[in-house]
């Protein structure tokens, strides 16, 4: 509250009289600037190259990062700041060196890639973290947790770590048995967008 008052006083001194504040009230402008500061502060150690803008409760991320994981992490950080209503992630993932890009990927595609509506690809997450489902525009639309049936019966969903993104709805899928996943296994899909949004073409 003190930070907000101090920012208001500073802006009253610095802003020229009659400034339209891009169509926002002074209070709305201050709220946006506080959110912007909060996101930048959280990104300071790991978000080099990320530009942050705010308008009307929406955080806009732009710039270039090295990996899809960094792009996803920046979005998670933005959602964790109080007052954020929407995050538009326009970060661009830098292309890997040509020698690396030429190497074939021998990993099998995720078994859910063809089953999830509106999903273009599902990428394996870090150890202990969820896999991430992306739509055609490169936006993260869901987090996917793979859980053995025994763990699901014993613990339920209470131990799933939060990714910091909003949760719209949850789906459960039975996965085919494989060498990596012997026995009955289920995928818990936590959607960050609505069913209507995933069905819309991108």
Of 112, 126, 120, 125, the C-alpha closest to 172 is 112
**Distance, CA of 82 to CA of 140 (rounded, Å):** 21
First and final C-alpha spacing in the chain: 41
Find the domain containing 162 and state its range.
104-199
Does some domain include residue 99? no
Can you tell me the mean pLDDT for 76-83? 87
**Hey, what are 3's tokens?**
């930070």
Is pTM beyond 0.75? Reply is: no
Element (H, E) at 12: helix 2-14
The larger pLDDT score, comparing residue 6 to residue 17, is at: 6
Structure tokens at 88: 């538009």
Within this chain, do residues 63 and 37 fall inside the same structural domain, yes or no? yes
Domain co-membership, 87 together with 26: yes
Q: What is the pLDDT of residue 59?
A: 92
Residue 49: count of CB within 10 angstroms of its CB: 15
Question: What's the CATH number where 26 sits?
Answer: 3.30.1340.30
Please tell me whether residues 109 and 55 are part of one structural domain.
Answer: no
123 and 187 inside one domain? yes
Any alpha helices (H) in 15-163, and if so which ranges?
A: 26-43, 68-79, 98-101, 149-155
Domain boundary among 93, 124, 150: 93
Number of domains in the chain: 2
178 and 123 both lie in a single domain: yes
CA distance 29 to 44: 22
Give the separation between CA 70 and CA 57, rounded to whole angstroms: 23
Q: Out of 41-50, 78-87, 111-120, 163-172, which region has the weakest mean confidence (pLDDT)?
A: 41-50
Task: Tell me if 98 is assigned to some domain.
Answer: no
């Amino acid at each position: 509250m003190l930070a907000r008052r101090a920012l208001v006083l500073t802006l009253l001194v610095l802003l020229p009289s009659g400034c339209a504040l891009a169509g926002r009230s002074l209070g709305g402008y201050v709220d946006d600037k506080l959110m912007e500061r909060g996101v930048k502060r959280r990104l300071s150690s790991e978000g080099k190259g990320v530009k942050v803008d705010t308008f009307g409760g929406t955080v806009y991320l732009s710039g270039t990062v090295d990996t899809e994981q960094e792009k996803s992490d920046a979005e998670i950080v933005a959602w964790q700041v109080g007052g954020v209503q929407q995050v538009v992630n326009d970060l661009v993932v830098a292309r890997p060196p040509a020698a690396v890009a030429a190497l074939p990927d021998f990993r099998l595609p995720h078994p859910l890639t063809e089953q999830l509506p509106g999903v273009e690809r599902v990428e394996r997450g870090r150890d202990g973290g969820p896999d991430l489902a992306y739509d055609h525009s490169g936006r993260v639309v869901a987090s996917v947790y793979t859980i053995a049936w025994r763990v699901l019966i014993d613990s339920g969903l209470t131990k799933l770590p939060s990714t910091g993104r909003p949760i719209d709805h949850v789906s459960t899928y039975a996965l085919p048995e494989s060498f990596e996943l012997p026995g009955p296994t289920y995928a818990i899909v936590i959607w960050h967008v609505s069913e209507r949004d995933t069905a819309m073409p991108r």
